[in-house]
Structure 1
Amino acid sequence: MVKTDVQNSQETQNTAPKSYERTEEKAANTAVRIVKQIAGELQLKASQVQTTVGLLDEGNTIPFIARYRKEMTGELDENFLRDIEERLNYLRNLEDRKLEVLRLIDEQDKLTEELQKAIEAAAKLQELEDLYRPYRQKRKTRASVAKEKGLEPLAKYLLKQPGQGSLQDEAQRFVNEEKGVNSADEAIQGAMDIVAEQLADDAKIRAWARKFTQDHAILRTEAKKKEEESVYEMYYSYQEPLKKMPPHRTLAINRGEREDVLKVALDVPAERIHEFIGRQIIQGPSVTRNVLEAAVEDAYKRLIAPSIERDVRGELTERAETHAIQIFAANLRNLLLQAPVKGETVLGVDPAYRTGCKLAVVDDTGKMLEVTVTYPTPPNNKVAEAKAAFRRLIDTYDVSLIVIGNGTASRETEQFVADLISELKSRKLKYLIVNEAGASVYSASKLAQTEFPDLDVAERSAISIARRLQDPLAELVKIEPKAIGVGQYQHDVSQKHLDESLKAVVESAVNHVGVDVNTASPSLLSYVSGINSTIAKNIVKYREENGKFGSRKELQKVPRLGAKTYEQCIGFLRVSESGNPLDNTPIHPESYDVVDKLLAELKQELAGIGSAQLKDLLHQQEPEELAPKLGIGIPTLRDILDSLQRPGRDPREELGTPIFRTDVLQIEDLKPGMELQGTVRNVIDFGAFVDIGIKSDGLVHISQLSDRFVKHPMDVVSVGDHVTVWVLNVDVKKGRVGLTMKQPQ
């Protein structure tokens, strides 16, 4: 059958894309716009963003891009790369949502050209949802009920604002007992409900009211039961401008409200908002003016204010959570990158009262040698028996360092260990208190059960405590990051966002250090660029079945470790047993031929890597002059020269080792002005907690960190820093110590 021109025309119309639907050309234009927007926000070149987006879309990981694609991105670091990735995902999701909103409105036959342009121009998800709000399917409302009663024409009459006539007479026309409109006043009320909902759904009005609330609202809190004591007492009668609320205070108030201790409200100058809304619809004197003014007040109080308050407080909370997660992430990275303590046989102690102190000896490679239990603390107080057990382990395994977890009974155990050390002066023993946060989480995990199936939970914990000193990174990656207590309000934030951020931090730290593929656990390997948990287990299984890896190339034999994964991970894996010394460096195999050219240029051999002569020669090279000869980018050549000068280097070794102790300090020993050495344990918005060797860490308030103005404590100190502090004040009853880093005059 031959189709007519009319039929062809109709089919074309039916199959033609809508004006808002995504075509290849539109998708390309959108991609360019997104790149330009991200570049503008982050103050980067569009070419840098475009290249990064391309690399991410190809499946490259951020650690890989940051380390091995520096020339392509203009040497963007991981922070910039993650910012690009985050904004890219947000803006792409926003574009997808725009298409969905346009489709939903179009299906209602309500999509105008003006509305489409407004939706396509929306820069934020909130702005887009405001535009969609009038078209969203609603549950039954006062306005929808009024429309069912046929009062929409009366609402339009109100908005026409006639200068003459009688509103009562007009409303009388809509009285209809069958529809449930029993009087003119009821009809007017229904029409007002329709107008109020229209005002509440107006995107311009909502945006203005939201911004005004953010700028002018006062957040007030009060106690639900003032007579009850709680940690929230400072908020029992409290107020502060919303826009000045610091993140930690926002999260504290939220928690108090969630625990039903505090009542929280926003105090907003409503009259100003009434005036603005009124100006949008009220044109002057009319017979409906008074009713419209009442509708404006009702729209704000009943419909706009509660919604805007939720939005504004939601945004405030989101900013506070983002800040808290950033603090946690920075603290976690510094903790993970603590210098390992090598060459020490360690006795780990998991202290307790009733169940006794669990002891575990591990050699300098972290191998468990023996576990046992003693009872030096109350209520057992078997001190002599415990000393005999400690002495036997110390003598048998030549223990040089004792590590005590900071949990229950840690200070009594510390006193016991200090006394023991004073009796064994000839052995030159030292001890250290370590943060055992997360040790119990690891000990009860399937991973710990697999690693030590014959030990109980507490014995595994003692091993973890010992190992986290020897190699903090290798041990701490076995623990869920949020269980490592170096944050603030980590239980009050979005757990999904927290998990994503902390996983990125661990991934960054692991790849920064590099991993020995012949000793690494599946937990550690799973954080290496491109390697998932399945491939990590396959690597360990292959190693167990075939012996140690003899080269990087051998990893290509591991099941499911394909070409892309190999490219992403191999530069971060070390094979110290390899016959090729480059396999024990961060140099990627794709650059091995460049190294060959470099050594030929310098008339040196591969076997000379690590020698003093080659180090000196490499140090003298000018990357800017040498790079063109070797056909490589300057940033990559710099990395190669650095790696060849220090093969097998652990970047953590440049950091200071922990402060070891031989004697215990009591809070009663402290006096104002006393000078002490300490280790920063946690950094939060209002200061830093420092371990000075007593039961509780001392607080250096932000005002006491430096003689100069400090915007945030992290500008001055980081977790793991060794600092000199002076005692400011001591509260023995509460166990609190105030410290300062300002040297007394």
Structure 2
Amino acid sequence: MTDSQIFSSIAQELNFKTKQVKSVADFLDDGATVPFLARYRQEATGGLDEEDIRSVRDKLEFHRTLEDRKKTILKTIDEQDKLTDELEEKIMSCTDLNTLEDLYLPYKPKRRTKGDMAKEKGLEPLAELIWAQEIEKGDPMEHAAKFVDEEQEVESAEDAMDGALDIVAEWINESADVREKLRDIFQEHAVIKTEKNPAVEERTNFEDYYEFSQKAKHLKPYQILAINRGERENVLFVNVELWDEITLGNIDDVVINNDMSIFVPHIQDAVEDAYKRLLFPSLERELRNQLTEKADQHAIQTFATNLSNLLMQPPLDHKVVMGIDPAYRSGCKVAVVDETGKYLEGTTTYPTPPQKKVAEAEEVFDKLIDKYDVNLIAIGNGTASRETEQIVANFIQKRKEKHPNEELNYMIVNEAGASVYSASKVAAEEFPNLDAPQRGNISIARRVQDPLAELVKIDPKSIGVGLYQHDVNQNQLAQSLDDVVESCVNQVGVNLNTASAPLLSHISGLSSRVAKRIVEHRETDGTFSNREQIKDIKGVGEFRFQQAAGFMRIPESHNPLDNTAIHPESYEATEKLCNLFGIDLEKLNEQTKAIAEKLKNIDKEQVANQIDVGVPTLELIIENLQKPGRDPRESLPKPVLRNDIMKMEDLSEGQVLEGTVRNVVDFGAFVDIGVKQDGLLHISKMADQKVEDPHDIVAVGDILKLTIVSLDLERGRIGLSLVE
């Protein structure tokens, strides 16, 4: 396929216009980023959003990989002098990798086979005679007897027939038509059967699969991943089963073209041999791989959706936070950060077992709260979390007696990845004088203030909102999660004067090296006063500036547009618009309502022509003039803050309460309701009608009103139902 044919094919697959696909491909080939195209090149892409553009990107990569593979295969076959016009046409018109590899199989270099040995003994002419199926009378063994050759170790007609059928079996195995037919049968009828390894005696997490059988096409992604892991850990034996008689009959239908041939019974023997020895093992592997790929894609999508919702949690502004990283023997690490996330002071307390120095810990808490006006305590949800929560809740109640008007609450924070961050190079560079354990509670405190800014410092796989994330295709997972982080960071925008290097590195067009130079520039030359100054950074040319500028925010700039998502290339058009409608750019923040009124019923096509931009760019300008410096996370519900604690024993069936969604998986959502154990909101309890995907109903970070429908104190299980 030529590029134009690829563009046309992708357009048809995605229901886009070929012009849109070509435009995206050209931009991506030139190095443009997805967020930049989605926001600032809508006229060129026909209004495609980030998801659309990434779909085009992925399809382009697939088709180009396919075309490269075709070239390699054609070259290999041609070097063998076996490339016919018909075969070349089949290869060139192929649209999927499986069929392409089927066509290549007969010419693929491979180890010496039984068929090869039979050919070396001169039995290929007999195999061709059998394969032709033209002889309808006589004794097949008389034809085989002609190939007896003791020097070649073909000592009887039976030996000759067996060798020839080895060759025929390999031809059957290499038949693209046979493989296509069998592939359809596997997809439709194959059954995955699992059973427990008798050598395993202890209880495992795979008990649901000790005696399990299900058609492959009906397997759920989480079942596939669980079966794969159980097999990998040698707990489960896994088999693929098919009804051989029907399957063999289907292969016969493809291979046998003359029922009157005297070789039909022998061909049927070759079919059975090819199926059991060659085809079944090959297609079994292929089916298992396809199931795994399907499950991987689903798990990766689930992880990506959860990660996006977690990163987009609303920040808690204007909070001085005391972070506590709970533990038992090693003590609870405590750190205070100011409203901007700057580390102020830290220490270690020992209120939990075995030391139980509660009074000493409370004294430390009091001192830090009084010294820095702390108004929120963030407690990590790991080991000793609930014991620490009980201590903090009791402490807050005691303080309220002395300070009745004080605003002091606590919240439980998902600390997944905090230990990874604390031991990372990023943390060491940020806090070179602190040991690793002390850095973790700083991360916990900062997550409350701005989840996005803090969590981008951590490998997304360590954040704890996935399903089997360490089992899936790691390259695909990394690509997907990088896409999510890139999308979230650029959707929110980044304060150029306060952002960390890890956060800046995710801005469209910037590399980690350039991000570090920006931070170094701030430290040596002071803060940036306008977007143009970014060009002073080594490595930021016109192209990087074009890609990055619109996603940077400079609240201190003399130009208010530098604190919006309006791109510098549209500043002139923005000024024209403001002049047309009497808008004072210098007082942008003071007249948002007036601006909205002035621009409410305008003829967008006409105004866009007047200021020489497209309608999408005009709409972006208007949106940002009305809401300068807006953070898209502001409209989301804030996290639940607490000042008292509940225990499992305080709960009862039928009780209505609030909870925060921690993780969403195929079968439901895990919800923090303020007790030691997260409750399970099962997919069947999310709505009156059947729910296909829990993400359609809830998302990580959602604040839900719930009813307790089941309670098992002994096993620590809480069943929840969504209150309408």
Shorter chain as denominator, the TM-score bin is: over 0.9
Structure 1 residue aligned with 2:139, among 166, 171, 182? Answer: 166
Structure 2 residue aligned with 1:219, among 192, 217, 238? Answer: 192
- State yes or no: 1:231 paired with 2:205: yes
Name the aligned partner's letter for residue 554 of structure 1: Q
Name the aligned partner's letter for residue 311 of structure 2: L
Which SS does the other structure have where 2:645 is aligned? coil
Shift of 1:120: 0.7
For 1:321-340, what aligned pairs fall within 5 Å after superposition?
A: 321-340=296-315
Contact map agreement 1:707 1:742 (CA 8 A) in 2: no
CA distance in structure 1 between the partners assigned to 2:714 and 2:540 by the alignment: 59
**Corresponding residue number in structure 2 for 1:148:** 120
Bigger shift: residues 689-698 or 38-47: 38-47
Shift of 1:601: 0.7
**Corresponding residue number in structure 2 for 1:681:** 662
Bigger shift: residues 232-241 or 471-480: 232-241
For 1:388-467, what aligned pairs fall within 5 Å after superposition?
A: 388-425=363-400, 426=403, 427-467=406-446
Shift of 1:171: 2.2
TM-score by length of 1: 0.94
CA distance in structure 2 between the partners assigned to 1:208 and 1:541 by the alignment: 63
Name the aligned partner's letter for residue 665 of structure 2: I
**Corresponding residue number in structure 1 for 2:653:** 672
Deviations 1:388-424 (A, max 9, x none): 1111111111110000000000000000000000101
- C-alpha RMSD of the superposition: 1.3
Contact map agreement 2:178 2:255 (CA 8 A) in 1: no
Deviations 1:85-108 (A, max 9, x none): 000110011111111111111111
Shift of 1:484: 0.7
Structure 2 residue aligned with 1:531, among 510, 513, 520? Answer: 510
**Corresponding residue number in structure 1 for 2:164:** 191
Which SS does the other structure have where 1:680 is aligned? strand
Structure 2 residue aligned with 1:349, among 316, 319, 324? Answer: 324
- State yes or no: 1:299 paired with 2:274: yes
Which SS does the other structure have where 1:424 is aligned? helix
Bigger shift: residues 703-712 or 128-137: 703-712
Shift of 1:479: 0.1
CA distance in structure 2 between the partners assigned to 1:516 and 1:166 by the alignment: 88
Contact map agreement 1:618 1:645 (CA 8 A) in 2: no
Q: Which runs of 5+ in 1 are unaligned?
A: 1-28
- State yes or no: 1:542 paired with 2:517: no
**Corresponding residue number in structure 2 for 1:620:** 600
Name the aligned partner's letter for residue 409 of structure 1: A
CA distance in structure 1 between the partners assigned to 2:364 and 2:601 by the alignment: 57
Structure 1 residue aligned with 2:66, among 94, 97, 102? Answer: 94
Contact map agreement 2:583 2:595 (CA 8 A) in 1: no
CA distance in structure 2 between the partners assigned to 1:499 and 1:163 by the alignment: 61
Deviations 1:122-180 (A, max 9, x none): 11011111100000011011111111121111211222332233332332332333322
Bigger shift: residues 551-560 or 53-62: 53-62
With over 3 angstroms needed to count, the CA separation of the structure-2 counterparts of 1:424 and 1:40, relative to structure 1, is: same
**Corresponding residue number in structure 2 for 1:22:** none
Structure 2 residue aligned with 1:253, among 218, 227, 250? Answer: 227
- State yes or no: 1:575 paired with 2:554: yes
**Corresponding residue number in structure 1 for 2:99:** 127
**Corresponding residue number in structure 1 for 2:701:** 720
- Number of residues of Structure 1 aligned to a counterpart in Structure 2: 715
TM-score by length of 2: 0.97
For 1:567-606, what aligned pairs fall within 5 Å after superposition?
A: 567-606=546-585
CA distance in structure 2 between the partners assigned to 1:72 and 1:711 by the alignment: 36
Name the aligned partner's letter for residue 94 of structure 2: A
**Corresponding residue number in structure 2 for 1:652:** 633
CA distance in structure 1 between the partners assigned to 2:92 and 2:356 by the alignment: 74
Name the aligned partner's letter for residue 724 of structure 1: K
Which SS does the other structure have where 2:411 is aligned? strand
- State yes or no: 1:114 paired with 2:94: no
Shift of 1:188: 1.3
Which SS does the other structure have where 1:130 is aligned? helix
CA distance in structure 2 between the partners assigned to 1:668 and 1:210 by the alignment: 55
With over 3 angstroms needed to count, the CA separation of the structure-2 counterparts of 1:616 and 1:99, relative to structure 1, is: closer
Which SS does the other structure have where 1:122 is aligned? coil
Shift of 1:227: 5.0
Contact map agreement 2:662 2:700 (CA 8 A) in 1: yes
Contact map agreement 1:377 1:409 (CA 8 A) in 2: yes
Which SS does the other structure have where 1:373 is aligned? strand
Name the aligned partner's letter for residue 141 of structure 1: T
Deviations 1:343-379 (A, max 9, x none): 0100000000000000000000000000100000000
Structure 1 residue aligned with 2:614, among 633, 636, 649? Answer: 633
CA distance in structure 2 between the partners assigned to 1:376 and 1:618 by the alignment: 60
Contact map agreement 1:704 1:742 (CA 8 A) in 2: no
Shift of 1:621: 4.8
Which SS does the other structure have where 2:2 is aligned? helix
Deviations 1:55-82 (A, max 9, x none): 2122111000000011111211100100
Shift of 1:742: 4.3
Contact map agreement 2:377 2:410 (CA 8 A) in 1: yes
Shift of 1:428: 3.0
Which SS does the other structure have where 1:610 is aligned? helix
CA distance in structure 1 between the partners assigned to 2:601 and 2:118 by the alignment: 83
For 1:284-323, what aligned pairs fall within 5 Å after superposition?
A: 284-323=259-298
**Corresponding residue number in structure 2 for 1:280:** 254
Name the aligned partner's letter for residue 459 of structure 1: Q
CA distance in structure 2 between the partners assigned to 1:326 and 1:528 by the alignment: 22
Name the aligned partner's letter for residue 286 of structure 1: S
Contact map agreement 2:181 2:251 (CA 8 A) in 1: no
Percent identical pairs in the alignment equals: 51
Which SS does the other structure have where 2:9 is aligned? helix
CA distance in structure 2 between the partners assigned to 1:552 and 1:281 by the alignment: 70
Bigger shift: residues 59-68 or 217-226: 217-226
CA distance in structure 1 between the partners assigned to 2:43 and 2:689 by the alignment: 39
Deviations 1:223-254 (A, max 9, x none): 11275421111111111111111111111111
